[in-house]
């Protein structure tokens, strides 16, 4: 270990102890104006700075005690390196607005908010279950802000042409009643029109999110906190009736790209599924709720709607995957109490809603999910929010590669689904 790394770790330890003392002795009032903001607070995130800065300006007007709050938009591709460099240079931000997918990778650099400062009951009363991703034994690692669930997009015109009223609510009905009707193949089984773009990785925009949704629905244990690190259980079920959820999900997903399967409706020669849907050549697209606006803008004439992702007919619990965002405090922050106060303020229902709406995201605050003034798309994303879940991703870039190889190995007949699933799980364990 290099000298500067030793010094950096030693500094982290001291700052963490000091910050924990401050948070344990910090009790925010129910009145946002009485928060102890302290000096300036520097926020880093990847969301557009214009939108967030407008809300910071509004917050400053309504909260006289609020000090200087700056937001810096970072490139997703360089976020990790920028943070590490800032910590090494002794000039870190005070707050990070980041997805839960980055939590595991940066957990050692982040300050847990003790449950003495943010009681479990208060947390659970304020936020839906998806926000529990931020809760660990020692405290809360982020103030939940928003989420983005996987939903189903469907082409009304293609459905109507075939006499179909709407997508099926179960996978069983989807593969029995929807896929055969909306998929067109010639005598050589060349795909002319596709119902669902499943089975590949390279030309399925949200392949990993779809697989995670299927795994959650199949009862996968996913990744959980353990006494000494994490337990990787993607292919382990939550109960005895759940058998190899990763293998079964992978088998189902890749059947759609198997020419010998009756579900065959997609292959790697076809365009990116999102583009195919926008152009009107794909009946069903599985995407994040935040994609509604961009899809509509790219093809204003596209007659589409959204629906909740299908579930298994025998499922006892509904699930879909979602990316959850929250405000985290680096251990090295110069203004821990101020950072905590600003996070609570910006994540409050009144200030978070305009930001969430502009980005097409979905609230995690229970108060915002109970609203009645929702458009046709928000009704679906808000419904999905209650049964959506994120996962403890050890490394975003590494998981992309692992899921890609897992799917490619099956599609290319290099491995059976069971072997490919086991290999993927083993590779994920190595990331911890």
Q: Is the pLDDT of residue 8 over 60?
A: no
Structural domain of residue 80, as residue ranges?
Answer: 3-147+323-377
In a domain, 197, yes or no: yes
In a domain, 229, yes or no: no
Q: Are residues 68 and 205 in the same domain?
A: no
Average pLDDT of the residues in 52-79: 86
Q: Are residues 260 and 330 in the same domain?
A: no
Residue 321: per-residue pLDDT? 98
Q: Counting Cβ atoms within 10 Å, is residue 188 exposed (0-12), middle (13-18) or buried (19+)?
A: exposed
Residue of higher predicted confidence among 28 and 335: 335
Q: Are residues 196 and 313 in the same domain?
A: yes
Residue 3: per-residue pLDDT? 38
In a domain, 385, yes or no: no
Coil, helix or strand at residue 15: helix
Considering all CA atoms of the chain, what is the largest pairwise distance in Å, rounded to the nearest integer?
73
pLDDT tens per residue across span 101-111: 999 999 999 99
Residue 57: per-residue pLDDT? 86
Q: Do strands 143-155 and 304-307 pair parallel, antiparallel, or not at all (unpaired)?
A: antiparallel
CA-CA distance, 11 to 5, in Å (whole number)? 10
Q: Are residues 289 and 369 in the same domain?
A: no
Q: Are residues 204 and 275 in the same domain?
A: yes
Q: What is the CATH number of the domain that holds 329?
A: 3.40.190.10
35 — pLDDT class (breaks 50, 70, 90): low
Write the DSSP assignment of 319-376 as a string of letters: -EEEEEEEEE-BTT-S-HHHHHHHHHHHTSHHHHHHHHHHHT-EE-BHHHHT-S---H
pLDDT tens per residue across span 158-210: 999 999 999 999 999 999 999 999 999 888 888 989 999 999 999 999 999 99
pLDDT tens per residue across span 114-131: 999 899 999 999 999 999
pLDDT tens per residue across span 333-354: 999 999 999 999 999 999 999 9
Q: Do strands 362-363 and 143-155 pair parallel, antiparallel, or not at all (unpaired)?
A: antiparallel
For residue 146, list its beta bridge partners.
325, 363
Number of domains composing the chain: 2
Q: Are residues 98 and 213 in the same domain?
A: no
CA-CA distance, 319 to 244, in Å (whole number)? 17
Q: Are residues 419 and 365 in the same domain?
A: no
pTM: 0.90
In a domain, 230, yes or no: no
Q: Interior CA angle at 101 toward 196 and 424, to 5°? A: 65
């Amino acid at each position: 270990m290099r000298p500067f790394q030793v010094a950096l770790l030693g500094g982290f330890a001291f700052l963490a102890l000091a910050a924990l003392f401050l948070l344990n002795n910090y009790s925010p009032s129910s009145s946002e104006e009485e928060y102890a903001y302290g000096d300036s607070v520097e926020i880093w995130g990847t969301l557009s700075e214009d939108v967030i800065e407008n809300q910071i300006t509004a917050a400053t007007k309504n909260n006289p005690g609020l000090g200087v709050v700056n937001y810096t938009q970072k490139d997703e591709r360089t976020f990790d390196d920028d943070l590490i460099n800032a910590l090494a240079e002794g000039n870190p931000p005070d707050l990070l607005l980041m997805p839960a997918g980055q939590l595991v990778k940066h957990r050692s650099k982040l300050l847990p908010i003790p449950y003495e400062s943010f009681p479990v009951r208060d947390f659970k009363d304020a936020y839906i279950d998806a926000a529990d991703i931020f809760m660990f034994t020692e405290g809360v690692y982020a103030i939940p802000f928003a989420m983005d669930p996987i939903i189903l997009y469907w082409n009304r015109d293609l459905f109507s042409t075939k006499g179909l009223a709407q997508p099926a609510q179960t996978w069983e009905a989807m593969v029995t009643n929807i896929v055969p009707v909306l998929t067109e193949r010639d005598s050589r089984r060349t795909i002319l029109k596709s119902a669902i773009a499943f089975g590949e990785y390279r030309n399925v925009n949200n392949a990993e999110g779809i697989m995670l949704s299927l795994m959650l629905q199949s009862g996968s244990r996913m990744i959980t906190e353990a006494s000494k690190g994490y337990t990787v259980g993607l292919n382990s079920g939550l109960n005895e009736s759940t058998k190899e959820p990763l293998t079964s999900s992978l088998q189902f997903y890749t059947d759609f790209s198997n020419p010998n399967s009756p579900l065959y409706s997609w292959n790697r020669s076809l365009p990116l599924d999102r583009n195919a849907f926008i152009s009107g050549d794909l009946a069903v697209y599985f995407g994040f709720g935040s994609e509604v606006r961009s899809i509509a803008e790219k093809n204003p004439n596209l007659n589409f709607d959204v629906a909740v992702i299908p579930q298994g007919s025998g499922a006892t619990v509904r699930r879909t995957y979602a990316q959850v965002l929250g405000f985290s405090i680096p251990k090295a922050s110069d203004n821990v109490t101020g950072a905590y106060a600003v996070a609570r303020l910006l994540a409050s229902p009144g200030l978070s809603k305009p930001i969430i709406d502009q980005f097409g995201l979905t609230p995690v605050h229970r108060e915002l999910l109970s609203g009645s003034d929702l458009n046709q798309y928000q009704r679906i994303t808000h419904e999905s929010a209650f049964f959506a879940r994120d996962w403890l991703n050890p490394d975003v870039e590494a998981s992309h590669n692992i899921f890609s190889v897992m799917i490619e190995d099956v599609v290319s007949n290099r491995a059976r689904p069971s072997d490919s699933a086991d290999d993927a799980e083993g590779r994920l364990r190595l990331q911890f």
